Amino acid sequence: MQRLLGRPDVAVTVVAPGAGPWPDAARNARTVLPALPDGWLAPASTVDDAFVERWRAASRAAAGAVDRATSGAVVDGPSVARAVARAGRPRDVLVVGSSSPVRDLDLVAGLLAPDVHPDDPGGWAGPRVLANRGLAGIDGTVSTAIGVALAVARSAPAGAGADRPRARALLGDLTFLHDVGGLLRGPHEPHVDLQLVVVNDDGGSIFAGLEPGGLGATSVAAARTFERVFATPHGANLAPLCAGYGVDHQLVPDVAALRHALAAPSHGVQVLEVRVPRDDRRRSAAALAEQVRAAVRAALAG
């Protein structure tokens, strides 16, 4: 985001109601206003239909590129997010973890309802999505998901049976490990049904796609520093960890098996672990971005 705000071809306007300093880390603000002008929020008197159609064409082209990249046999974060999103019905609830999973879900969300924003309840075809965010966004996500699952169960109509709404969570391995204690529930606690899909890349792949990800290419020493400080591999074995809490664990080998596991009836708390590579995250993200750009350029040129 800071890189975008610092670009010379981006006009940045800062709204700073107070008299103190305003946020402008890139020192690129062209205008600083004490308030947002009323005219900026007024609806347009006319609609440029040609522009709208070009925008929609670009959106469809971008979605097509993402569709092609995530519909094959490759097991990665976006393909897992797509499978989880498509498994959810509108009455289901999905808790999504911070870092890579929420970005992967955002990337593939448009495939469920092209040209429709997920905030539009009339067009979104997937589950209701909830997420935590705070100073440490990965903390407490397992506990949040269990609380959401309890609320989903209480909201289900009596006798719903197989049609009852389901609760799932999509989270990374570090997010899961940071709140693995949330799996501990005493014998007097109410029963809860919840599927936790853990995308395990043995570390924090989110940083590979951010500025620190470029460190690994500078030297061997820098690559070691990145691996220890940013990637933070843990080597944890999730299966016995889940067994210790009395929680069902399944190691899912591919996306097809994940779809089957998501569609199957589940009882209690279930962890579906999907192992994905981390070393090519930066390269694959750059390749997908270029495919999207090429598809959009072709659509606009046509």
The boundaries of the domain holding residue 25 are 2-41
Residue of 25, 29, 22, 23 lying closest to 8 (CA atoms):
29
pLDDT the model gives residue 67? 92
Q: How many domains does the chain have?
A: 2
* 137 and 262 belong to one structural domain: yes
* 21 and 58 belong to one structural domain: no
Percent of the chain at pLDDT exceeding 70: 92
Radius of gyration, CA atoms only, the chain: 22
Q: Is the pLDDT of residue 236 over 60?
A: yes
pLDDT the model gives residue 126? 79
pLDDT the model gives residue 171? 96
CA 223 to each of CA 82, 174, 214, 217, 254: distance values in angstroms, whole numbers, following the listed order: 31, 20, 9, 7, 29
CATH number at residue 78: 3.40.50.970
Give the pLDDT band of residue 161 (cuts 50, 70, 90).
Answer: low
* 55 and 183 belong to one structural domain: yes
Give the pLDDT band of residue 27 (cuts 50, 70, 90).
Answer: confident
* 8 and 108 belong to one structural domain: no
165: left (phi over 0), alpha (psi -120 to 50) or beta: beta
**What pLDDT, in 10s, does the model give residues 98-128?**
989 999 999 998 887 655 554 555 556 679 9
**What pLDDT, in 10s, does the model give residues 42-52?**
887 788 889 88
pLDDT the model gives residue 227? 87
* 246 and 210 belong to one structural domain: yes
Average pLDDT of the residues in 2-26: 81
Give the pLDDT band of residue 28 (cuts 50, 70, 90).
Answer: confident
Average pLDDT, whole number, for the chain?
A: 87
Q: Which two tokens stand for residue 42?
A: 């007024």
* 115 and 238 belong to one structural domain: yes
Nearest 5 degrees, angle CA 126-CA 60-CA 96? 30
**What pLDDT, in 10s, does the model give residues 177-212?**
999 999 999 999 999 999 999 999 999 888 887 877
* 134 and 270 belong to one structural domain: yes
The answer to whether the beta carbons of residues 105 and 72 sit under 8 Å apart is no
**What pLDDT, in 10s, does the model give residues 257-279?**
999 999 998 899 999 999 999 88
* 23 and 66 belong to one structural domain: no
* 276 and 140 belong to one structural domain: yes
* 231 and 271 belong to one structural domain: yes
* 32 and 158 belong to one structural domain: no
pLDDT the model gives residue 96? 95
Distance of CA 220 to the CA centre of its chain: 31
Give the pLDDT band of residue 21 (cuts 50, 70, 90).
Answer: confident
* 7 and 148 belong to one structural domain: no
Q: Position of tokens 């947002």?
A: 36
pLDDT the model gives residue 274? 97
**What pLDDT, in 10s, does the model give residues 218-230?**
788 888 888 888 8
